[in-house]
């Protein structure tokens, strides 16, 4: 990382923290699609955000200037940092009263960075990247094709992290324009003071990210057909990079949901660890364990991405909630979407959304539904004791009580054989078995997908699927 760059300053601040940053490598086309998706949501938001960008060179800004004119109309302030090129200051968008241009010195390390920061009371997002140096490319050297350029960094929706980076960027802007630095500092204080629990729907943003990345994939395929200079190796590498970021969008949102869970910010990680342990106990194959792990990490997305299923909508005619539809936008996640959809089925056939019964319910869905219920009951006991300020039950007793409550639902809500397996797991935990609950490394999560990822879980309800699942 370049010394004195925004990315390097942030990395230094977090290197020894409990929450280190998770970096990845991104191709230029991936970043373009990602930034467009995050930026364009501003047009649908009423929160008038502060947006700070770094374009490296002015000519890259000029390619976006028309779009930025529209975005500026919905923003309280737009700041663009770039090394000046011809026409940089003359474009009409640059003349808008709420658009400020910072002419970066060629020696400024930020001139090698590509940043997007969006900060408002209801919507936050950020892309923070730095172009690879010549030495980073190795013996092959820098690519000849512009679209094959690579960047190192990360992106996120996390409000606290976006706020931190915005402050670092504003301090950097101050070395060029102290009056603008003061104005931006005042604006950040206003945003901080007006933050409410009501947030813009990140599910819409995630859907847009996936759509834009998939459109980029289609454009890439067309490029390969018309441009012989675009190597087959590059096309495959970029295709994988785009898919990786589609999955990252869902994982990052799931992470944000966990962080907002004041009672247990590790809930999804715990559900995932327990689900995997049960899958191993049942001797599931590796590909099925991966699918179960991903379903555990993403199982909380359904109510946040969609509206959930109301009592009026119960039954086989109920359409899939929009959260599952968003997951279905990725072919690699369709089977996972089915698992999550049917986690609320009941063993006796009285559940939702399809009133499936017994073995017609996907095995992974049965596991996920039981583990989620068990872990929620464990957490309720923990919270109850925390509120009362006294430990009336030991950890082992909490596990026993949660198990007993699930056993009472055996044969009705849950598969009896899975309840028996849960009993064995609880016995092991009471005797010291440790199930490590860890957050996934989001930027390197492609390993969760494999050759079975695009297969649909066999539900035995193909006609129902064709009617409402696509």
Residue 181 Cα distances to 96, 105, 166, 167, 390, angstroms: 18, 17, 11, 10, 49
pLDDT in tens, the chain (470 residues): 888 899 999 999 888 777 778 788 888 888 888 999 999 999 988 889 999 999 887 777 788 888 899 999 999 999 999 888 767 778 899 899 999 999 999 899 999 899 999 999 989 999 999 988 888 777 777 777 777 788 999 898 888 899 999 999 999 999 999 999 999 999 999 999 887 767 767 778 888 888 888 887 777 666 554 455 555 656 677 677 777 777 777 777 777 776 666 667 688 889 999 999 999 999 999 889 988 998 998 887 765 443 333 333 333 333 334 455 667 777 778 888 889 889 999 999 999 889 999 999 999 999 999 999 999 999 888 888 777 777 778 889 999 999 999 999 999 999 999 999 999 999 999 988 877 766 666 655 444 554 444 444 333 333 333 333 33
Q: Distance between CA atoms of 196 and 173, rounded to whole angstroms? A: 28
- Taking the domains of the chain in order of start, what are their residue ranges? 6-204, 267-468
How many CB atoms neighbour CB 285 within 10 A? Answer: 10
Q: How far apart are CA 153 and CA 132, in angstroms?
A: 10
Q: Which CATH class is domain 267-468?
A: mainly alpha
Q: pTM for the full model?
A: 0.76
6-204 is classed CATH 3.30.870: yes
Query: 101 forms bridges with which residues in the sheet?
Result: 80
- Structure token digits, residue 400: 């026993």
What is the rounded CA–CA span in Å between residue 316 and residue 326?
A: 20
């Amino acid at each position: 990382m370049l010394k004195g760059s925004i990315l390097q300053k942030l990395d230094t601040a977090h290197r020894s923290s409990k929450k280190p940053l998770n970096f990845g490598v991104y191709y230029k086309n991936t970043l373009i699609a990602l930034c467009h998706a995050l930026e364009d949501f501003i047009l649908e938001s009423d929160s008038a955000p502060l947006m700070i960008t770094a374009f490296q060179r002015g000519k890259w800004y000029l390619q976006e200037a028309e779009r930025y004119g529209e975005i500026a109309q919905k923003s309280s302030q737009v700041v663009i940092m770039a090394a000046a090129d011809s026409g940089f200051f003359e474009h009409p968008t640059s003349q808008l009263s709420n658009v400020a241009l910072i002419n970066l010195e060629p020696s400024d390390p930020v001139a090698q960075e590509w940043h997007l920061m969006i900060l408002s009371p209801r919507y936050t997002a950020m892309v923070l990247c730095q172009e690879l140096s010549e030495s980073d490319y190795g013996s092959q050297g820098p690519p000849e094709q512009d679209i094959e350029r690579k960047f190192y960094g990360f992106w996120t929706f996390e409000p606290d992290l976006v706020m931190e980076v915005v402050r670092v960027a504003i301090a950097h802007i101050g070395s060029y324009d102290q009056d603008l630095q003061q104005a931006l500092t005042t604006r950040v204080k206003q945003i901080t003071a007006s933050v409410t629990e009501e947030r813009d729907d990140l599910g819409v943003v995630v859907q847009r990210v996936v759509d834009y990345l998939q459109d980029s994939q289609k454009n890439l395929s067309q490029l390969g057909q018309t441009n012989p200079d675009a190597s087959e190796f590059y096309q495959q590498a970029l295709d994988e990079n785009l898919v990786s970021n589609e999955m990252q969008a869902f994982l990052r949102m799931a992470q944000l949901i966990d962080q907002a869970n004041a009672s247990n910010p590790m809930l999804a990680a715990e559900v995932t660890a327990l689900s995997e342990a049960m899958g191993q106990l049942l001797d599931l194959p590796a590909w099925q364990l991966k699918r179960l792990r991903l379903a555990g990490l993403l199982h909380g997305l359904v109510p946040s991405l969609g509206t959930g299923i109301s009592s009026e909508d119960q039954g086989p005619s109920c359409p899939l909630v929009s959260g599952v539809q968003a997951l279905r936008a990725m072919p690699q996640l369709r089977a996972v979407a089915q698992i999550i959809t049917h986690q609320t089925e009941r063993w006796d056939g009285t559940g939702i959304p399809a009133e499936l019964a017994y073995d017609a319910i996907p095995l992974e869905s049965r596991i996920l539904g039981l583990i989620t219920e068990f872990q929620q009951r464990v957490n309720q006991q923990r919270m109850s004791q925390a509120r009362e300020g006294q430990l009336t039950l030991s950890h082992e007793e909490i596990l026993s009580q949660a198990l007993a409550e699930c056993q009472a639902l055996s044969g009705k809500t849950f598969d009896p054989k899975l309840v028996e397996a849960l009993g064995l797991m609880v016995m092991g935990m009471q005797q010291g078995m440790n199930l490590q609950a860890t957050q996934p490394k989001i930027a390197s999560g492609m390993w969760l997908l494999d050759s079975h990822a695009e297969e649909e879980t066999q539900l035995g309800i193909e006609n129902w699927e064709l009617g409402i699942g696509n």
